[in-house]
Structure 1
Amino acid sequence: MLNRTLVPQSVAREIQSMIQDGTLQLGEKIPSQREFSQKFGISRASLREALLTLETLGLLKTEAGRGTFVSGGPSSVSNHMAPWRYSGSYSVFDVFQTRIMLEGQIASLSAGRLMASQLEQMEDATRQMEECWAKGDLLANVEADLDFHAIIASACSNTMLRALYQTVRDQITETQRQPIPITDPARMTASIAEHRRIIAALRSNDPTAARAEMEMHIRNTAHCAGLEP
């Protein structure tokens, strides 16, 4: 039995595979939530979470009164981003602005505290981002990105900042998914290079450089989403 927190991601991966292999075609309406939840043997709540993830990544699009449709293949880049799902509480601008301050400070306080094995994990996550983007596995690309940032947060010397990072993790995750549909290959190449500069700063135990590289990385991601925090 899958851990409940992993069910939506597992189902999202299965649906992404159906899009990749042509089982679900571009423009095709996907089965109803009742039918899909029965097919995967999951609750509708878990299915809805999986569908929201795929919509944020640009693979699905929901049209009011019509249903949910396949809106693009994994290698497609469009000018459309999904609606911001946390608009009732925080704007996407606010979340990016908070990320710059929070993750910049976390990176600074993590310099000199990351073990060699953690730095290697970050390098592995960066390679996975690159490889998964190349083969159109958007879910795995973002998962590797999330792992990269989480490893840094785990090494932060300030326990309250670590707790705060976990408290806003869902919103942070969404800002890492949301720009994907409008991310072109050049921006992904630049993002991967930024990850490697962050690793280099952390490996050099340079808190000033670690903060600067992290803040620039998040600003550039925000720029990709059309924001100037």
Structure 2
Amino acid sequence: MLSRVPVPHAAARKIQGMILSGELRSGEKVPSQREFAQSLGVSRASLREALLTLETLGLLKTEPGRGTFVSQARPSASRNMARWRFADSYPVADVYETRIMLEGRIAGLSSQTLAEADFQALEIETDTMERNWERGDLLSNVEADLEFHSIIASGCRNRMIVDLYQSVRDLLTETQMQPIPITEPARMQASIAEHRRIIKALRARDAANATHEMQNHILNTARCAGISIATD
């Protein structure tokens, strides 16, 4: 597995498995980075990236001067999001506004080019997203969400727009991960329903509605994160 996926991702998956199995218990301090990296067979840099991902998802919490601990409760009950990592570059509201503009346009353009196989793949990712949320597999839930948006972007024939999308992918990804710790089950179900409406609009080759549904989906995600975006 480590040879097929990025090492930090594989490490994050391993640690999440330890949490879900109870090997790492709620409230328990994780081993030092040196010890943990050695036990997982990864570099400390890869481990730090894995820990950062799991902290963003609400599975871990770092306390300055004390260390990193397994979160005490299911992420949606913690009511705390990780800090916005890109604050030195862009306010998070700016990223959501960019997503609304960029991904809305991508959805409209892709509605004219995506094939039936793409629609089926979008349905599979949405089902996977829902199933893994119920299982508490937050990494797989987010992976499916990221893949959903990537499939739509892959259908856009405006290569400059796609290149722009890819150039800011890390920031866009962070806005998809960061709200997870405060996402209630009802909001996740609403998000999944929004995915299904996006698929329906794409299948209908309705560019205007595909744009609208995607923009509405991102707007609702921003609201979940406590970000108010003007739509006029």
| Pair in the same fold by TM > 0.5 | yes
Per the alignment, residue 177 of structure 1 pairs with 177
**Match for 1:118: what amino acid?**
D
Give how far 1:112 is off: 1.7
Aligned length: 229
Contact 2:59 2:75 in 1 (8 A): no
Task: Name the CA distance, whole Å, in 1 between partners of 2:3 and 2:214.
Answer: 32
Moved more, 68-77 or 5-14: 68-77
Per the alignment, residue 77 of structure 1 pairs with 77
**Match for 2:69: what amino acid?**
F
Contact 1:74 1:138 in 2 (8 A): no
Per the alignment, residue 213 of structure 1 pairs with 213
For residues 34-81 of structure 1, the C-alpha deviation after alignment (integer angstroms, 9 at most, x for no partner) is 011111111111111100000000010111111101114556522100
Contact 1:12 1:50 in 2 (8 A): yes
Contact 1:20 1:74 in 2 (8 A): no
Structure 1's unaligned 5+ residue stretches are none
Task: Name the CA distance, whole Å, in 1 between partners of 2:52 and 2:175.
Answer: 13
**Match for 1:15: what amino acid?**
I
Task: Name the CA distance, whole Å, in 2 between partners of 1:4 and 1:141.
Answer: 19
Per the alignment, residue 117 of structure 2 pairs with 117
Contact 2:76 2:183 in 1 (8 A): no
Per the alignment, residue 90 of structure 1 pairs with 90
Contact 1:122 1:151 in 2 (8 A): yes
Q: Which stretches of structure 1, 4 residues or longer, exceed 6 Å deviation after superposition? A: none
**Match for 2:139: what amino acid?**
L
**Match for 1:167: what amino acid?**
S
TM-score, structure 2 length as denominator? Answer: 0.95
CA 67–169 in structure 1, closer or farther in 2 if over 3 Å, else same = same
Per the alignment, residue 40 of structure 1 pairs with 40
Contact 2:60 2:71 in 1 (8 A): yes
Q: Percent identity?
A: 63
The reply to whether residue 138 of structure 1 matches residue 148 of structure 2 is no
